[in-house]
Each structure stands twice: as C-alpha cells, then as structure tokens.
C-alpha cells in the first residue's frame, strides 16, 4: 500500500476566531493529498481533465481529533482505501508538528465525462491508472499475513 505525504504550513488566513484551523480547510488539504498521491503514482489529474474526464466527490467524511494552529506544519498522509475500477475511496490522516493525529478523513470519488456526468470505467479508459491503483490500494486484512 502506497502512503503519500504532503506538508502544509498553516497560514493565518486558514484559522478561525478561536485560533485553530477552520474545519473546511481540512477538506482543501485532503484534496491536496489526493492530487499528491495521483502525482506520486506518476499521473496528472489535470491531464485527465484535458481528456474531458472529472472526478467529483460522492461522499466525504472528516473526524476532528486535535486542533492545528497558525505557525504549525500539517502533514497529510493519503492512501487508496478502496478501488473497484469505477469508484475510488481515499483515506487521510493529518498530523501536527509533534506527530499527533489531528484529523482522519475519507473521500469517495467516481470518474465521469465532464459534458454529461456519465460514469466511466477507469479500468477501460485508463488501464495504466487502473493497474497502479490496484497495486497501491490498501489490501484487505485477510490478504495481509
């Protein structure tokens, strides 16, 4: 299983009146993690968009454990939680400078044609992505020995 890492400096504008990162910014950071793992696998989401294919969010979950504050560095760890040839679920963990878990998350996506939002088979349209995702995805517990 591939785990991609991306570091983000917490900027003042990303915090709220309580001095902690505003909750919606974690969704932006998860997106940065998702594009980083795609890049780490050797692909480009921007190139997919040029083909007229986009990957909208079907579902998203964030669970807040510990606040991050201005001046800290957030480390986003991203992996492919599930993949079935059509849908992809990405897992996320975001840590603070001390290595404490701040947020866990999951986002589910499907690839669709941009002009009509009809789903496409990643396996058929992008066989190289399919192969890389199959190799990089989290393995079921029963497969781990």
CATH classification of the domain holding 80: 3.10.129.10
Residue 43 domain flag: yes
Residue 145 domain flag: no
Long-range contacts of residues 125-134, Cβ cutoff 8 Å, at least 24 apart: 125/53, 126/48, 128/43, 129/41, 129/43, 130/85, 132/41, 132/42, 132/43, 133/41, 133/80, 133/83, 133/88, 134/83
Number of domains the chain is built from: 1
Residue 48 domain flag: yes
Domain span at 78: 1-134
pTM over 0.85: yes
Residue 46 domain flag: yes
pLDDT tens digits, one per residue of 53-111: 999 999 999 999 999 999 999 999 999 999 999 999 999 999 999 999 999 999 999 99
Residue 139 domain flag: no
pLDDT tens digits, one per residue of 70-82: 999 999 999 999 9
Question: Catalytic site residue 97?
Answer: no
């Amino acid at each position: 299983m591939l785990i991609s890492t991306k570091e983000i400096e917490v900027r003042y504008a990303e915090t709220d009146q309580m001095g902690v990162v505003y909750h919606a910014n974690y969704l932006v950071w998860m997106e940065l993690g998702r594009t980083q793992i795609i890049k780490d696998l050797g692909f480009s989401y921007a190139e997919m968009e040029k083909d007229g294919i986009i990957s909208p969010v079907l579902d998203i979950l964030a669970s807040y454990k510990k606040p991050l504050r201005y001046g800290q560095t957030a480390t986003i760890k991203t992996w492919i939680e599930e993949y079935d040839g059509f849908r992809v679920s990405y897992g996320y963990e975001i840590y603070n400078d001390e290595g404490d878990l701040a947020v866990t998350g999951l986002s589910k996506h499907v690839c669709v044609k941009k002009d009509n939002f009809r789903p496409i088979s990643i396996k058929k349209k992008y066989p190289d992505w399919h192969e890389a995702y199959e190799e990089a995805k989290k393995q079921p517990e029963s497969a781990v020995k």
